[in-house]
Amino acid sequence: MDKTATDMFIVPRDTVANKLLLSVHYYTPWPFAGMTKDESWGKMRQTWGTAEDVAELRRNFDKMENFAKRKDIPVFVGEFGAANSKDPRSRAKWMASVALTAQSRGMIPVLWDIGQDISRNPPFTVSPELTFVLKQLQAPKDVSNGQ
């Protein structure tokens, strides 16, 4: 979101009123969401959910929300997800936090799934992590904490 929510990012001209939207992907922090092994440039993280992690998530979505308001453009979080090799509780908390944080800012979140959370074969089962996320999305919202 840092590379999008900046004045250096040029939003295309909306040639048909109210038909343009901004689509972003969210995989922050990458060492948790995407890395599946240590690399020379960084270490993989198995867990997510510290106060600093949650603050980073909110800061990123605040930036995007402010940018969207300045540019008068809706935001579609077209991809977010975390590798299924991560700690299941952290994974569920991260996915729910991303979805709820996006929704609370009027953004549409879309989980990127490659068969790790929704089985591609009958009976099309849903992972425990996604079950948790869906329950969180259906629960009454507590607007006092920004989600």
- Higher model confidence: residue 97 or residue 2? 97
The answer to whether 141 and 147 have CB atoms below 8 angstroms apart is yes
> According to the model, what pLDDT value does residue 139 have?
84
Region of poorest pLDDT, from 3-12, 49-58, 75-84: 3-12
The pTM score is: 0.89
Q: Which amino acid is at 9?
A: F
The answer to whether 112 and 81 have CB atoms below 8 angstroms apart is yes
- Length of the chain as a residue count: 147
The answer to whether 28 and 8 have CB atoms below 8 angstroms apart is no
pLDDT of 1 higher than 80: no
For the sheet with 108-111, list strands across it: 22-26, 75-80, 108-111
> According to the model, what pLDDT value does residue 144 have?
52
pLDDT of 140 higher than 80: no
Assign 142 a pLDDT band (cuts: 50, 70, 90): low
> According to the model, what pLDDT value does residue 6 have?
78
The answer to whether 123 and 115 have CB atoms below 8 angstroms apart is no
